Chains A and B, each alone.
Chain A
Amino acid sequence: MSYFNQSAFKAPKFLVTTHTSAQLTTSTPNSYETIVGSEISYIPFLNSNKVVYEISFYSQKTQNGGVLFQVLDLEESTDGGSSWSIVNDKFKKNYGNSGPASQKNRYYLHYRYVLPAWSGEKHLRLRTATHNDNVNRSVELHQLTEWNGTSATDQFCNTNLLIYSI
């Protein structure tokens, strides 16, 4: 007896990551780190043309002044995660606000990358770094330091990751 899941997506695979602490990025320009919850391995559905990598996560800049201005790179690995390379420069993204030198921004981010399908297994992950500048641009990921009209220490936003074939 066999079962086939009839989903709106071909071969969907997902990852929900809960958090109990903030992920603090560095202020050092071009010092990349992986967004916790963004890494996944995937084998595309047979004869698919595209793979969709879709992720949401939370980012804020509310402490120590400075600017929220980040760069994002989507990376891939074909050797099980030992070595990584940028998927394509066209998938580079910026987010934030390069304006005033002291900001308090709260961003909920949702990105959807449509990639050419491949054969075999690949690992994908999303990397973030501060934009190249001397203003304090470190950000806090995943933790909400305000909630329900007051400050908070125990509120977090899950990182949601979905990958599927089309």
Chain B
Amino acid sequence: MSTRFNILNYVIKGIDMTYKTEKFFLSSTTNNPTAQIVSTSWIELTGSRCNITLKQNTINLLYKYSFYTYNKYVNSSNYEKTFIHVKLQKSNDDFSSNIVDLPGCQFNFSGDTEQNDDFFYKSCSPFFIVENLDSSYLRLVTRSYSTSNEVQIHRSNHWNSGGGADVYYNPNLLVAEL
């Protein structure tokens, strides 16, 4: 489900002219997402890709996204320890061949990796402001630090005192021109 709108109006009063300039806005939710397993190769976070209408050569943009993580279950005596890298990328061809990392739009996300069993269930909310964006596409990608730090995204196998429920968290995206 997504909402996208632009507003463009202008008013002419005599020789004076007033413009309301267009501002891009997008909000979307990915319903019932399939679980993503994050390993040591970069993957795109489901629902994080967007197509931005550029009415000027460059714009300043707010990019907000939220997703859920939990440490990957291997077996009852072996849980991975959450530790992932996350970064924002831009593209002018929908990530076909032009893929550029946005400097500083990146972070690490982990529980306490010093512990043998770090049961880490948490949502994460990237909040980036991109200045002078000159490309029409953005997305988030992630990878784990090592094969011992793999993570399951969007779904949890624990809920309401049970172990079998497959509960999901819809990732949400909001992109707004500033």
The listed residue with most B CB atoms (<10 A of its CB), out of A54, A102, A156, A160, is: A160
Q: How many residues in B have their beta carbons less than 8 Å from beta carbons of A? A: 43
- CB atoms of A104 and B124 under 8 A apart: no
Residue contact B127 to A110, C-beta cutoff 8 Å:
yes
**Given contacts A1-B17, A108-B107, A148-B143, are A6 and B22 in contact (CB under 8 A)?**
yes
CB neighbours of B7 from chain A (8 A): 6
* Contact (Cβ within 8 A) A16 B131: yes
B:118-167 near A, CB below 8 Å: 124-129, 131, 143, 145-146
Query: Does chain B have a CB within 8 A of A103?
Result: yes
**B126: which A residues are within 8 A, CB to CB?**
56, 108, 110
Chain B residues with Cβ below 8 Å from A58 are 107-108
Q: Which of A1, A7, A19, A100 contacts B177 (CB 8 A)?
A: A7
A16 and B129 within 8 A (CB): yes
Q: Does A12 contact B (CB under 8 A)?
A: yes
Residues of A within 8 A of B104 (CB): 16, 18-19, 156-158
Chain A minimum-CB-distance residue to B110: A106
**Are the CB atoms of A4 and B129 closer together than 8 Å?**
no
Contact B112 A99 (CB under 8 A): yes
- For the complex, is B33 an interface residue (Cβ under 8 Å from A)? no
Roughly how many angstroms separate A136 CA and B85 CA in the complex, as a whole number?
Answer: 26
Q: Is the CB of B110 within 8 A of A104?
A: yes
Nearest chain A CB to B40's CB is how many angstroms away? 6
Which chain A residues lie closer than 8 Å to B52 at the CB level? none
Q: Is B106 an interface residue (CB 8 A)?
A: yes
Are B106 and A105 in touch, CB under 8 angstroms? no
Q: For residue A58, which residue of chain B has the nearest CB?
A: B107
Given contacts A110-B125, A162-B62, contact A8 B23 (CB under 8 A): yes
Pairs of residues from A and B, 10 with the lowest C-beta to C-beta distance, nearest first? A158-B104, A56-B127, A108-B107, A106-B108, A106-B110, A110-B127, A160-B129, A6-B20, A110-B125, A6-B7
Instruction: Using CB atoms and an 8 Å cutoff, list the residues of chain B in contact with chain A.
Output: 7, 9, 16-23, 25, 40, 60, 62, 83, 85-86, 103-115, 124-129, 131, 143, 145-146, 176-178
A-B contact pairs, 17 of them (CB 8 A): A4-B20, A6-B9, A6-B23, A7-B178, A8-B23, A14-B129, A106-B83, A107-B109, A108-B86, A108-B108, A110-B127, A146-B85, A157-B104, A158-B128, A160-B128, A162-B129, A162-B178
